[in-house]
With several copies, the nearest count.
Chain A
Amino acid sequence: MTLSREQMAMRVARELKDGYYVNLGIGIPTLVANYIPEGIEVMFQSENGLLGMGPFPTEEQLDADLINAGKETVTTINGASIFSSADSFAMIRGGHVDFTVLGAFEVDVKGNIASWMIPGKLVKGMGGAMDLVAAAPNIIVMMTHADKYGNSKLLEQCSLPLTGAGCIKRVMTDLAFVEIDHEQGAFILKERAPGISVDEIVGKTGGKLIVPDNVPEMEF
């Protein structure tokens, strides 16, 4: 069965390591925060200028001056720091954030990502996504393997305007966990969702897909 958003988040969360500074994109990626493995601590960076983001505030804690990049009211944890947008993106652009999770419309075998603009539809802007994908040494894209019409989102070449070129190495979908080998120009199937066959994944992957001899099922 295809993975739920929660299961996708759960699997991504297993990549977290103790002491990681983490930036979670708006939308599905935020779910990752709910599945931090036991025994490890991570700290969340919010690109509007906060490192050490805490949970939503109680009514009493609510403060208009303390929000995250999704413009939601939040809190800070002990050991947090707050800084300007320039300093925040210096931190991001400089590659200091250990782990980033973002959504996307498409990725391709060269590690290109398209996530911000669909021509003909209203374009709201890239926000911090272009900075994040260009800078993150360790980034995972979270998205469904195919769109609602069954068209693959893992392509030989992105069809939409790019958010970043050659920067994605790992993709978590509702069907599989996939790595990208930029040199070979291919996706590599690393793990599949429980009960999902390699054939189904092959069928729903638009770009070249390398299938190793052993593709383990994820366990939840």
Chain B
Amino acid sequence: MSGFDKVVHSYEEAMQGLEDGMTVIAGGFGLCGIPENLINQIKKLGVKDLTIVSNNCGVDGFGLGVLLEDKQIKTMIASYVGENKLFEQQMLSGELEVILTPQGTLAEKMRAAGAGIPAFYTATGYGTPIGEGKEVREFNGRKYILEESIKGDFAIVKAWKADRYGNAIYRHTAQNFNPMAATAGKITVMEVEEIVEPGELDPTQVQTPGIYVDRLIQGTFEKRIEKRTVRSA
């Protein structure tokens, strides 16, 4: 079988090598497009002292929230957290360190890591607590702060379809942080709803080229909705 075939057949294999103290970058926004099963596997592994980088930390009992139950997270880097009681408790007790990062800066930090850019300037956060201790520089009369990239030992992402080589496409706004996360892991693990054969996806429409994917697994997903808003037909 081709050296480009990234498919693994168990979640054990998918997350093999994850150890205490590692940094894990996770795709997803809220509960949308999160790598549900890879997160559950991290819980199962019981590894501790993790640094998790993700826009949010799930909810009680679902998504990254499950990693709070056994206090597996030491540091959370996110833009918006606290949709869950456990998170609040552990943060207030000091068991959980939280590094709040503006959403766009977080996305760009992941992209930069994948793109070999160690740091970039952004106006976001200048003059706020987020800018404290960071270099300030003026360009064209405006003040910017220096932000560094953020790389993970592992990146866990959720896509819709991928071919065996790991070329992936995302469904609707379940894309969100996943493509950047995919580029920012030393080991990138992707779970998808469907695996297809190479050649089935239009090369121009591939959103994450397989070069970024180390392990690929097909899973089934609950896809819980956080805020169910509907209108009458």
- Residues of A with Cβ closer than 8 Å to B? 17-21, 40-43, 45-52, 55-60, 62-68, 70-74, 76-86, 88-97, 112, 117, 122-131, 134-135, 161-166
Number of A-B contacts (CB under 8 A): 252
| Residue from the set A59, A70, A71, A135 with the largest chain B CB neighbour count within 10 Å | A71
Q: Which of B14-22, B41-49, B64-72, B175-183 contacts A (4 or more CB under 8 A)?
A: B175-183
Given A78-B198, A131-B104, also A125-B81 (CB < 8 A):
yes
Q: Enumerate chain B residues within 8 angstroms of A85, measured Cβ to Cβ.
A: 29, 55, 103-104, 106-107, 176-177, 180
Rounded to whole angstroms, the CA-CA distance of A74 and B55 in the bound complex is 20
Given A91-B209, A122-B88, also A72-B229 (CB < 8 A):
yes
- B86 contacts A by Cβ under 8 Å: no
In whole Å, how far is B70's beta carbon from the nearest beta carbon of chain A?
23
Q: Enumerate chain A residues within 8 angstroms of B227, measured Cβ to Cβ.
A: 67, 70-73
Interface of A is mostly: loop
Rounded to whole angstroms, the CA-CA distance of A122 and B206 in the bound complex is 39
Q: Enumerate chain A residues within 8 angstroms of B123, measured Cβ to Cβ.
A: 93, 134-135
Contact B105 A131 (CB under 8 A): yes
Q: Which residue of A lies closest to B111 (CB)?
A: A86
Contact B115 A94 (CB under 8 A): yes
Query: Can you give 11 A-B contacts (C-beta < 8 A)?
Result: A17-B3, A55-B231, A58-B232, A64-B174, A76-B203, A78-B197, A86-B177, A90-B115, A91-B209, A91-B212, A122-B88
Q: Which residue of B lies closest to A126 (CB)?
A: B102
Contact B4 A43 (CB under 8 A): yes
Contact B104 A93 (CB under 8 A): yes
Closest 3 CB pairs of A and B: A19-B3, A165-B127, A89-B104
B84-127 with Cβ < 8 A to chain A? 88, 91-92, 100, 102-108, 110-111, 113-117, 122-127
Interface size on B, residues (CB 8 A): 81
- B35 contacts A by Cβ under 8 Å: no
Q: Enumerate chain A residues within 8 angstroms of B176, measured Cβ to Cβ.
A: 48-49, 84-85
- B163 contacts A by Cβ under 8 Å: yes
Q: Enumerate chain B residues within 8 angstroms of A92, measured Cβ to Cβ.
A: 104, 116
In whole Å, how far is A69's beta carbon from the nearest beta carbon of chain B?
8
Given A64-B224, A65-B33, A91-B209, also A84-B175 (CB < 8 A):
yes
B108-160 with Cβ < 8 A to chain A? 108, 110-111, 113-117, 122-130, 143, 160
Q: Enumerate chain A residues within 8 angstroms of B204, measured Cβ to Cβ.
A: 82
- B78 contacts A by Cβ under 8 Å: yes
Rounded to whole angstroms, the CA-CA distance of A47 and B231 in the bound complex is 22
Contact A124 B82 (CB under 8 A): yes
Q: Enumerate chain B residues within 8 angstroms of A47, measured Cβ to Cβ.
A: 103-104
Contact B103 A82 (CB under 8 A): no
Given A50-B173, A81-B210, also A164-B3 (CB < 8 A):
no
Q: Given A89-B107, A134-B126, A135-B116, 9 other A-B contacts at CB below 8 A? A: A49-B175, A51-B210, A81-B210, A93-B116, A124-B80, A124-B82, A127-B80, A135-B104, A165-B128
Contact A65 B100 (CB under 8 A): no
- B51 contacts A by Cβ under 8 Å: no
Contact A82 B180 (CB under 8 A): no
Contact A164 B230 (CB under 8 A): no
Q: Which residue of A lies closest to B103 (CB)?
A: A128
Contact B2 A41 (CB under 8 A): yes
Q: Enumerate chain B residues within 8 angstroms of A124, measured Cβ to Cβ.
A: 80-83
